[in-house]
Structure 1
Amino acid sequence: MRKLAASVLALVFLVVSAVPAFGAVDQEKLKEIKALNQQMTNIKAQIIDKEVEAGILDQAKAEKIKKSMQERQAKIEQDIDKGEFHGIGPKKGGCRKNSNAPKTE
């Protein structure tokens, strides 16, 4: 029984000591993510410009959207520079409204 307990304890110790190594962040990959995020923001800005040209968006709304995108990109870059990455998409408490859902009044 003691051998089993010692084996389990040793296994737990190995797992706990190995976790920080698995959690290490690859800085090169973060740089790649940063560059890809920048490309994505630039492409989205180009799409917004085309939507303005097509008459889908008005210029004021487009500028507001692009300003918001730039602020979000700056936040992402700051986080990555600190060695953090929180992924893409809505954050805590965020929810996307379904534009196809019927409006209730």
Structure 2
Amino acid sequence: MHNFEDLFLPDNIPIWFFVFNYLTLISILAWPFILFGSIFIFDNPPNLFVGILFFLLINSYPLIQLGLIVLSFWLYEDYKMIAILIPILVYGFVLRFVHTFFK
């Protein structure tokens, strides 16, 4: 099992991998605005349960991103390609969302 230092500050991981993974966390800076905007889901929902579910899913995305970063660091020693693909997929989803939102 990994301890905290081994997980976030390992010696055998190159610096570009740190930068690449931590840059995926930039999208978390928008979280306060998304949290504020998601409050309006409860204005007039057709189904309250679905509204609560969407609210929780929308506002849990930083936890999902942090989990993917931890998973990427964890997998780097044994599965380098999968560990590199994780932040690329996060970038792809964020860019897709931004492109769709500002279209």
TM normalised by structure 2 equals 0.43
Structure (1/2) with the larger helix percentage: 2
TM normalised by structure 1 equals 0.42
